[in-house]
Amino acid sequence: MEVKDSDVETVAAPEEQGRHRSLSAVWNGILITATVIVVALSVNQLFNLGFFVGHIWLDNKYQYALFGLLVPLTFLIFPMTSRASRTKIPLYDIAASVVMFALLLFFFINAERILDSGWEMGAPQHVVIFGFILWALVLEATRRAGGTALFAIVFLISLYPLYADVMPGPIAGLSSSIADTTAYHTLSAESMLGIPMQALANLVIGFLIFGVALTQTGGGTFFINLAFALLGHVRGGPAKVAIFSSGLMGSMSGSVVSNVITTGVLTIPAMRKTGFRKSYAAGVEACASTGGVLMPPIMGSTAFIMAVFLDVPYITIAVAAIIPSVLYYLALFIQIDAFAARNEMPGIERDKLPGLKETLLQGWHFIAVFVLLIVMLIYLKQEVLAPFYATVLLLIINQLFPHSRWNGSDFIGFIIATGKLLAEIAAILVGVGLIVGALSITGMAGTLVNDLIFLAGGNTLVLLLMGAITSFIMGIGMTVTAAYIFLAIVLAPALVQGGLNPMSVHLFILYWGMVSFITPPVALGAFAAASIAGASPMRTGFEAMRLGSIIYFVPFFFVLDPAFILQGEFSRTAILFGSAVIGVILIASSLQGYLVGVGNLHRHPVFGWLIRGLMLIGGLCLATPGNSVLIPFSDLQLAITALLLAGSAALLAYLFEKSHHKQLTA
């Protein structure tokens, strides 16, 4: 059952082949050169070294440099259509790449002049023409990197300043001419060079490089083997392995679908061998991979953008996400344990599993690197520099082991993988920046806040429900990052104005954007897992929806009381966390029909549903914080209600279970 490096590499290959071209040596050389320069510029800028140019560049000059080196690569990496050649780059793609690079070189050279002359508010005609061409090329780059749905939304909203004045009341705004809109999009610090690109340039880039290094050096292999060594032998072991390994991998990669593809090929067959049905095994993997993006210490790129929006250190976001992610994975773990117990599913024989000692000896350095990263994030407050130090340490230690030591081709492969990822993320973030710019120039971001509050009738709960539904719908058609940015501008201020904690509100939006990965009709994470398991996509989606159901409730918990995200007194946090843990166990047990210490909750064909319903409601009462803005009941009242409901349900279930065993032994 031990996983080898080759296993993980072959898993990633189909996805790479599906979306990326196989570049020739010449084009790979260009990709490698651009990537090396990007990393060098980032190190120079972020470490304040002053090499190459003798001084630190202005922010817009630095961002134009990254923009110009990365985004034009998308025309080389991603074919125009799914039917286009995966080996040959057509002339129109080469031309698009060269033109975009030339345009950004012009803006790079004139970066200081753009600021000094205020071109964003009135650029010369030739600059507007250059900007318009760049705008069109960015839209196409966004389509190739982020998909047609994201392109359509970015395209329509980026044009919004042209027709904002003719829109109906709530979504009307100030209109602008095509020249002014173009200048604002391409030259201001609010659009293409806005918050998304600023986050990439100053925060995200180091963690993306670290994530690639961790994967390329065998981090995925180590975490999967470690999970099997620790949990493979217990009941439902392979499913618990999926939770552990996918959670860690998702935290590193920040991508739900790639996480499913990387770990699912190993965990789903293992689950199937121990008796899990196809759709259930795929649902477990989808939920585990989805939660990984929400789990510290390294979350998805959206968390870094959130840090920029809230103007707080990234570690503040990571710390705030600890309790919600623990509750999510606890619910998954309890449900899997209950399912395995109810269906008497064994683990894998120990002799077929990797040994814990051998696994730790081969991969202890991954843990050491994580420790360094956490120390630098939490104690040294060096969140910008931490991933660079961690990457260097990882690569140095990796070269000390003969079994993992890289040769020249491995280093080249690492640089190419890094370049492809950076180009893809840059294209998406620059495109999403157009949304920010459109909402900014029209003034809609400010006026829509009051309109939303008016539509909700001033009721914060209604506004929250509107936010949850909107986040979910946006998460269907856009990347999580794009959906978050749009709602952070439009919806978050309205919720904050309604009296809610800003950190809670932004995490609420992020969580509900993630829900779309496991909820039909789209459920991309569940559908990716279903393709591996050979299961029905819709059935897998509904299994994932039930398994990950706690993700629908947790955002409301921490919005109701910020103590859930460590924004308050520690004593309050401890009380809420303790009651939430018990509540989540009751909720998870009710969903699977099995409670540890009691047994099967559904022995009686009629009363079984009543028992599970009472336990579900009791669990929700216990997990929900009292004395909040929207909950008029105290913690004690909710706890007593939970005790009465869940206690009576557990007693009934125990009596039915006892009666069942008597019948078997009679």
398 and 254 housed in the same domain: yes
98 and 191 housed in the same domain: yes
DSSP character string of 334-347: HHHHHHHHHTT---
Can you tell me the distance from the alpha carbon of 529 to that of 157, in angstroms, rounded to the nearest whole number?
A: 32
- Say whether 414 sits in a helix, a strand or coil: helix
pLDDT of residue 17: 44
pLDDT of residue 267: 83
- Please identify, among 403, 420, 440, the residue that sits at the C-terminal boundary of a domain: 403
Low-confidence ranges of the chain (pLDDT < 50): 4-17
User: Which range of residues forms the domain containing residue 233?
Assistant: 217-403
125 and 228 housed in the same domain: no
Name all contacts of 519-527 with Cβ < 8 Å and 24+ positions apart.
Answer: 519/472, 519/544, 519/545, 520/545, 522/476, 523/286, 524/256, 524/257, 525/256, 525/257, 525/260, 525/286, 525/287, 525/289, 525/290, 526/282, 526/283, 526/286
Q: Is 167 part of any domain? A: yes
150 and 223 housed in the same domain: no
Q: Return the ∠ at Cα 419 (arms to 311 and 127), rounded to 5°.
A: 70
Q: Is 459 part of any domain? A: no
| Contact of 68 with 38, CB cutoff 8 Å | no
pLDDT of residue 13: 35
Number of independent structural domains in the chain:
3
Instruction: Give the pTM.
Output: 0.80
**Angle between the N-to-C axes of helices 301-310 and 205-216, in degrees from 0 to 180, rounded to the nearest 10:** 160
Alpha helices in 593-666 (DSSP H): 607-623, 635-665
258 and 189 housed in the same domain: no
- Please identify, among 403, 429, 452, the residue that sits at the C-terminal boundary of a domain: 403
- Say whether 286 sits in a helix, a strand or coil: helix
27 and 169 housed in the same domain: yes
Can you tell me the distance from the alpha carbon of 321 to that of 310, in angstroms, rounded to the nearest whole number?
A: 15
192 and 224 housed in the same domain: no
Can you tell me the distance from the alpha carbon of 288 to that of 308, in angstroms, rounded to the nearest whole number?
A: 27
**Euclidean distance between the first and final Cα of the chain, in Å?**
42
193 and 240 housed in the same domain: no
**The two three-digit tokens of residue 196, written as one number:** 């998304």
260 and 327 housed in the same domain: yes
296 and 379 housed in the same domain: yes
Amino acid in position 313: P
Q: Is 48 part of any domain? A: yes
**The two three-digit tokens of residue 108, written as one number:** 């790079």
pLDDT of residue 56: 66
Q: Is 508 part of any domain? A: no
Q: Is 355 part of any domain? A: yes
55 and 172 housed in the same domain: yes
Residues 6+ apart with CB under 8 A from 655: none
Q: Is 458 part of any domain? A: no
pLDDT of residue 11: 35
Q: Is 163 part of any domain? A: yes
299 and 399 housed in the same domain: yes
Half-sphere exposure of 449 (CA within 13 A, CB side): 13
pLDDT of residue 647: 92
List, for residues 104-159, the tens digit of each pLDDT value: 999 999 999 998 888 888 889 999 999 999 999 999 999 998 888 788 888 998 99
pLDDT of residue 16: 41
pLDDT of residue 522: 67
pLDDT of residue 613: 93
